[in-house]
Chain A
Amino acid sequence: MSTQTPDTDSETEQPSSTSHQERRMAEKQARKEQREADEAAAANEIQGETVELKVFRYDPEIEGKEEPRFDSFTVPFEKGMTVLDALIYARDEYDSSLTFRHSCRQAVCGSDAFFVNGSQRLGCQTQIADLDGPVRVEPLPHQEVVKDLVVEMDHFYDQMESVDPFFDTDETPDGEEQRQSRENREEIKLSTRCIWCGACMSSCNIAAGDNQYLGPAAINKAYRFYMDEREGENKRQERLEIIEAEHGVWRCQTQFSCTNVCPKDIPLTEHIQELKREAVKQNLKFW
């Protein structure tokens, strides 16, 4: 395990500096130091604390990283700091090879689901202040690790796509919208919030043991279309057949782990249960 400290000498020499430029660089440096001092003072006022991160590291082609290990990073704590903020700080200040997916910083792109202190969470949505230290950050379990916190998502995407995740209506009115009741929109609303982060799939014991299980996210996607009153009848039936096949809804053992970790508060287990009921109803109809 390596413990890394801030690199204090981040300024580099300018190859062709003029005296004017030197002066300006000096002024800039002074401003930067002042700002850093101000920021440090402000941070001290609030907490004066640091947070210790223990981050999973792995890289198949770098010596010393082929075997997974944990690196520790000590990051200055600021009010409102998220796990993602702390990771970015560690990367930009200590080790630029620290690798993780992230983009929007506001819990909508679904890139930064990690295993934080033993639970699947979005890094950007998790406040450091809410966690016990040291904060342990690992890649999502039950998915192949590509590097550091980056996991292989292809299997997740394949499962999502296996439920025909697209709207397929029988016919649409010419030049105007289809009607949809407010009640029906309300019924599908929570299911449409999914951001494909993969937290649910990673938390699911069944998915861990059965690689072909569709998983909560894909079943929720099927629910989103099945329950939409605008959806065409043929496609509804086709999709129902997909989700009640061998590795579909009946695998779910209602452990609620997916529902517990979903960062968008989607009642995944309930949606799976509702589709089980729909499947039973349909089967009785044709019996």
Chain B
Amino acid sequence: MYEHDVIVVGGGGAGLRAAIAAHEEGADVAIVTKLHPVRSHTGAAEGGINAALQEGDSWQDHAYDTMKGSDYLGDAPAVDTFAQDAPEEVIQLEHWGMPFSREEDGTVSQRPFGGLSFPRTTYAGAETGHHMLHTLYEQVVKRGIEVYDEWYVSQVAVTDEDDPNERDCEGVVAWDVQSGEIAGFRARDGVILATGGLGQAFDHTTNAVANTGDGVAIAYRAGVPMEDMEMIQFHPTTLPSTGVLISEGVRGEGGILYNSEGERFMFEYGYATNDGELASRDVVARAELTEVQEGRGVDDEYVYLDMRHLGEERITDRLENILHLARDFEGVDGLEEPMPVKPGQHYAMGGIEVNEHGETCIDGLYAAGECACVSLHGGNRLGGNALPELLVFGARAGRHAAGADMPEPKIETGPRDDFEREDIGVPVGEPGAREAAADGGAVENPGSDPKAVVEATAEAERERIETLLEREDGVNHADVRADLQESMTENVNVFREEGNLKEALRDIQDARERYQDVYVADKSRTFNTDLQHTIETRNLLDVAEAITMGALARDEFRGAHWRKEHQERKDDEYLKHTLVSWNDGEPELWYRPVILEGDEQTYEPKERSY
């Protein structure tokens, strides 16, 4: 058994920032990650990092824009904390050597981004995430923080009290992808999940193949609720053939969207008569699909994003990476022709329910970054707000897990008896026996000795993997995954209808049943990606189900969540977060009120126009 004070699961931006913070508090910290840290998908972020740095800007304005962008589903304590901490985090990153783009006077450049009332997006070309990821990893190397790379964490080791609020997290179980060794990792002070996105639940996504919602699913099955999972961001500018992202920075610098008639539809059809292309992402994504549906799309599929008028010099200076992406992945020269773009799954606003210190309802279990829901982004995340979130809440989780003295949190976590519950009336959850061989649910563990809890969880995991490897034939996980992705993209997309959502839930039930017979053809212990992907597919089933349950239950239109039958925001009814608890295989949906009382002001829901 390996042992450290703090174990960080995931080596992307949030995980690295958390590890550095915990290390600075004096903790013995280790990062356990299924990819080497520099392979993490933070590296694919392009546009930038929002922070109120300049004269004339303020954290209050950043907070206001973020709350408005969230369509009033953000929690004010999270939004305020975020906007207050972001500037010092960006300065810290610069002090660590981040190669930001610069102004003539040598200060860090900032550009306009969608939904922002001030040009506050710092950036490093159109490859901001790449530079941020490498800068953070360099600081991890400098500090000698231990990294277990290509170790796949498949369970958290949690005590088995009936009430999730009373459980303790003692560590994780992981296997070494290269050797097949399965080992317990005891965390004396805390486990921080920083596993990133879940875009592989969909088949047209900007997310990496590795973004399979692992942290969300393992926390969920250990008893932590998933929050606001229906809030999925579809980015308006992805390349049609691959889903590769074209940064919002293109529109920030002045890029224009045209339909097949050559019309600047954001203005001409009234989608956003003030901000046009720089309206919030959900607004632009719906506008594009509406154009396509009304017959003004190109090839009935996409629209054009044109940046030619910006000129070669400006494009090369600030958006050079976009030229490479458009050329390599769509065969288009962005200097000579407009780029085809359409909406693609991009980001999960929801995730593991945490408070502003990253704590879940399980003692010693934390989450930060995209896998967490604090809740900052609410119904819709603004471009340039994900990277500062990694920094701010990664650092806070790291500090808290390492024992730093921090004020009482204002956000409550965990289920409570008096919260409103809803039965969605469609079968969900684990079909048949709960003790299925491939199940990853809580195991019975002996009492309160932390090491025994970790070892019991590791032993259960060894049995689960043994069972998967021993089966001689059955269903290939790739077929289950492909059907799931297809159904999610078809039924739980930008435009949602009750019938389609129910169909998706039936497809997920089918997929769960087929997954009971899943088998791993590769019998090797060495670098068995077949086994890893099979386990990831199980995680995708759980997150996809929660996304769809939330979408079916929320009878309104808010942020990224649009419902055909309910095309208005219902503040009387739905100023509340959707939560889904695993409940030992019988998922339960419940609600918690949104917190709109902030540090200096109470945010009043207003009509959201751009």
Decide yes or no: A14 and B526 within 8 Å by CB, A104-B43, A185-B101 being known contacts.
no
- Is the C-beta of A69 less than 8 angstroms from some C-beta in chain B? no
**B128-150 CB contacts (< 8 Å) to partner A:** 130-131, 134-135, 138-139, 141-142
Decide yes or no: A195 and B138 within 8 Å by CB, A80-B241, A225-B97 being known contacts.
no
- Is the C-beta of A39 less than 8 angstroms from some C-beta in chain B? no
| Smallest Cβ-Cβ distance to B34: which chain A residue | A103
- Encoded as 1 (CB less than 8 Å from any A CB) or 0, chain B from 75 to 106 comes to 00000000000001001001111011111111
- How many of A's residues come within 8 Å of B, CB to CB? 66
Decide yes or no: A97 and B130 within 8 Å by CB, A92-B478, A105-B208, A179-B107 being known contacts.
no
Q: Is the CB of B138 within 8 A of A167?
A: yes
Q: Is the CB of A157 within 8 A of B36?
A: yes
Residues of B within 8 A of A157 (CB): 36
Least CB distance from A99 to B in Å reads 5
- Is the C-beta of A188 less than 8 angstroms from some C-beta in chain B? yes
Least CB distance from B509 to A in Å reads 9
Q: Is the CB of A147 within 8 A of B524?
A: yes
| Smallest Cβ-Cβ distance to B478: which chain A residue | A92
The interface stretch among B61-69, B226-234, B403-411, B510-518 is B510-518
Residues of A within 8 A of B475 (CB): 12
The interface stretch among A57-65, A202-210, A270-278 is A57-65
Decide yes or no: A108 and B43 within 8 Å by CB, A80-B331, A172-B95 being known contacts.
yes
Decide yes or no: A97 and B530 within 8 Å by CB, A14-B513, A103-B208 being known contacts.
yes
Tell me the complex Cα distance, A59–B105, Å: 56
| Smallest Cβ-Cβ distance to A181: which chain B residue | B106
- Is the C-beta of B529 less than 8 angstroms from some C-beta in chain A? yes
Tell me if A's interface is mostly helix, strand, loop or mixed: loop
- Encoded as 1 (CB less than 8 Å from any B CB) or 0, chain A from 77 to 114 comes to 00010000000000110011101111111111111000
Q: Is the CB of B39 within 8 A of A103?
A: yes
Decide yes or no: A12 and B517 within 8 Å by CB, A25-B510, A104-B44 being known contacts.
yes
**B282-331 CB contacts (< 8 Å) to partner A:** 324-325, 328-331
Tell me the complex Cα distance, A86–B58, Å: 50
- Is the C-beta of B506 less than 8 angstroms from some C-beta in chain A? yes
- Encoded as 1 (CB less than 8 Å from any A CB) or 0, chain B from 35 to 50 comes to 1101111011000000
Residues of B within 8 A of A178 (CB): 94-95
- Is the C-beta of A168 less than 8 angstroms from some C-beta in chain B? yes
- Is the C-beta of A193 less than 8 angstroms from some C-beta in chain B? yes
Q: Is the CB of A97 within 8 A of B138?
A: no
Residue among A25, A165, A192, A195 with most chain B CB within 10 A: A192
- Is the C-beta of B525 less than 8 angstroms from some C-beta in chain A? yes
Partner of B91, one of A10, A105, A175, A181: A175
Q: Is the CB of A111 within 8 A of B35?
A: yes
| Smallest Cβ-Cβ distance to A168: which chain B residue | B142
Q: Is the CB of A177 within 8 A of B138?
A: no
| Smallest Cβ-Cβ distance to A13: which chain B residue | B517
- Encoded as 1 (CB less than 8 Å from any B CB) or 0, chain A from 220 to 237 comes to 000001001011000000
Least CB distance from A243 to B in Å reads 17
Q: Is the CB of B43 within 8 A of A181?
A: no
| Smallest Cβ-Cβ distance to B103: which chain A residue | A182
Least CB distance from A110 to B in Å reads 7
Residues of B within 8 A of A147 (CB): 524, 526-527
- Encoded as 1 (CB less than 8 Å from any B CB) or 0, chain A from 138 to 152 comes to 000000001110100
| Smallest Cβ-Cβ distance to B474: which chain A residue | A12
**Please, could you name 18 A-B residue pairs with CB atoms under 8 Å apart, sorted by A?**
A59-B526, A61-B526, A97-B522, A97-B524, A97-B530, A102-B209, A103-B41, A106-B242, A106-B325, A109-B35, A109-B40, A111-B39, A125-B328, A153-B36, A164-B142, A166-B97, A180-B106, A185-B99
Interface set of A (CB-CB < 8 Å, partner B)? 10, 12, 14-16, 21, 24-25, 28, 59-62, 80, 91-92, 95-97, 99-111, 125, 146-148, 150, 153, 157, 161, 164-169, 172, 175-182, 185, 188-189, 192-193, 195-196, 225, 228, 230-231
